With several copies, the nearest count.
Chain A
Amino acid sequence: MGELRLMKGNEAIAEAAIRAGCDAYFGYPITPQSEVMEYLAAEEPHKRTGMVLLQAESEIAAINMVYGAAGTGKKAMTSSSSPGISLKQEGISYLAGSELPCLIVNVVRGGPGLGTIGPAQSDYFQATKGGGHGDYRLLVLAPASVQEMADFVPLGFDLAFKYRNPVMILSDGIIGQMMEKVELFEQRPRNTTFDQSWTTTGKTPDRERNIITSLDLDPAKMELHNRDLQAKYQKMKENEVRFEEIECSDADYILVAYGSSARICQKTVKLARQKGIKAGLLRPITLFPFPTDIINSYAQKVKGFLTIELSMGQMVEDVRLAVNGLVKVEFYGRSGGVIPSPDEVLKVLEQKFIGG
């Protein structure tokens, strides 16, 4: 068993980054995720593993530093929160277009605008449908515990390199700020070789030059590139869907929730079962690719779905697309940093489906 620690989610990400052999972190402070960079600064990763840490002048600079490092095959990452992630959208679209592997963490807070620093899940659309321009997708992981905050860092890097695609960890103020027990994995070595088929580490005589670009002025070629990207996303849909089922097998009603709201719903399921209501929880772990099939298959059996989000209703669209009209899909959300309580969710479940 690995080392046990009590850590904040943000700290777990930072420690996991060092242990995952991350080569470089570039970031800009913003609540509620500044502990990521602060933890790294205190740890002096350049002494522990040689990892680079730089506080950039802005989120835009940070994402473009990630672009540079990732283009050389390094494991690079950045983290921010909602307004900062909005600023990175052009950079993210470029990373996706240039097929660069990297890790982007969004510890979501309430919007729109400056909004509130309270936790929220209102950046789901931005993360999963593409807040930037063009047809691209991020692979989006939604941790629901501090343990997952740690574990999804190496997983995220692995997936990023597997698909040469940016991976986003979509977390929120709750998961980022809470402390839980974490079992830390062993230090992994940093990469020492770089895939010479695409990385720009200096053209050696034994190969052609490598180019990192997302540009093609020829529409026909550009379309081909877009189809290749779509094929890649299709592969992700086939191979990378991850979710957790809690008491779904005999459920009449399934709650669908991810991240912190899944934690709340977990308790709602307990409370519901105590009352004799057969509730279950389906927790998407990957938001893209979305667990469409499993939801669709439950749609044939259950009486209804209730989607719970810390937003005014975003993931619910993907749930509806999965259910495709087979049964009722209801939504309940709180926003602006307000958190629904487990019994509040139970009440909604009863009202919407059982009549209360």
Chain B
Amino acid sequence: MNEEIIIAGFGGQGVLSMGKILAYSGIMQNLEVSWMPSYGPEMRGGTANVTVILSDDRISSPILNAYDTAILLNQQSIDKFEKTVKPGGLLLYDTNGITRHPSRKDIEIYQVEAADESTRMASAKTFNMIVLGGYLKLKPYLEIENVVAGLKKSLPERHHKLIPVNEDAIKRGMEIVKKA
């Protein structure tokens, strides 16, 4: 398998750590992985994005201009990255605050109401895990135990008590993801 993903959104939405959990999950499943963030001061207040690649083979370029999957978490990101999804690829987004929705016909478009759901779950920190759950449902190549292992690896020891909450959030995301 070879899955090329872009995740983009506001700085505070946990974009980078979602990518990191994905990458770590890949490692747990013996895949090759790469994680390449945008970096620097423009991250401050502005938008952040990360390219994650999971593959059976050695990964060549960690930087891409076309993706199998785009996970887009604010308007700017949709505006910028919708066009970079490969034909037949997947675009997953949260409708919260979105005024111009993605409109391509040659790709699969899915929604996950993660912002609302995380408010409901009374834990803003679960937002990105709900999104991740939605993604994992749509691209089920990762065993869930590897994702949990990846989650563990990517969290510092002192946060391990949060793992159950995160697992729940992932499951919730799997449930609520829906076709646009």
Q: CB within 8 Å of B: which residues of A?
A: 4, 6, 31-32, 117-118, 173-174, 177-181, 217, 260, 263-264, 266-267, 270, 339, 341-343
Beyond A6-B27, A177-B37: 20 further Cβ-contacts under 8 Å? A6-B20, A6-B35, A6-B153, A31-B39, A31-B41, A32-B40, A118-B40, A177-B36, A180-B59, A181-B32, A181-B33, A217-B40, A217-B41, A260-B62, A263-B59, A263-B61, A267-B60, A270-B60, A341-B63, A342-B61
Interface size of B by CB at 8 A reads 23
Look across to chain B and name the residue whose beta carbon is closest to the beta carbon of A109.
B40
Instruction: Across the interface, name the chain B residue whose C-beta is closest to A217.
Output: B42
Whether A4 pairs with B27 at a CB distance below 8 angstroms is: yes
Measured between beta carbons, the chain A residues less than 8 angstroms from B39 are 31-32, 117, 173, 177
Inside 8 A of B65's CB, which chain A residues have their CB?
Answer: 341, 343
Contacts of A264 in B (CB 8 A): 60-61, 63
Contact B60 A263 (CB under 8 A): yes
| B20 CB, nearest partner CB in chain A, Å | 7
Q: Please determine whether A174 and B62 come into contact, CB atoms closer than 8 angstroms.
A: yes
Q: Is the CB of B27 within 8 A of A263?
A: no
Check B27 against A117 for contact (C-beta < 8 Å).
no
Bound form: Cα–Cα A278–B180 in Å: 43
Provide the main secondary structure of the chain A interface.
mixed
Q: Are B61 and A267 in contact (CB under 8 A)?
A: yes
In whole angstroms, what is the CA distance A173 to B36 when docked?
A: 10
**Which parts of B46-79 form the interface with A (CB within 8 Å)?**
59-65
**Which residues of chain B are within 8 angstroms of A343 by Cβ–Cβ distance?**
65
B91 part of interface (Cβ distance < 8 Å): no
7 contacts between A and B (CB under 8 A): A6-B20, A6-B154, A117-B39, A174-B62, A179-B20, A181-B27, A270-B60
Q: Are B64 and A341 in contact, CB atoms less than 8 angstroms apart?
A: yes
Let me know if B41 and A180 touch, CB within 8 A: no
Q: Mark B18-44, 1 if CB is under 8 A from A, else 0.
A: 001001100100001111110111100
A151 to chain B, nearest CB (A): 15
Name which of B27, B34, B63 has the most chain A CB atoms within 10 A of its CB. B63
A342 touches B60 (CB 8 A): yes
Q: Of residues A118, A180, A217, which shows the largest number of chain B Cβ atoms within 10 Å of its Cβ?
A: A180
Q: Please, which residues of chain A bring their CB within 8 A of the CB of B33?
A: 6, 179-181
Contact of A266 with B41 at beta-carbon distance under 8 Å, contacts A6-B23, A6-B35 already known: no
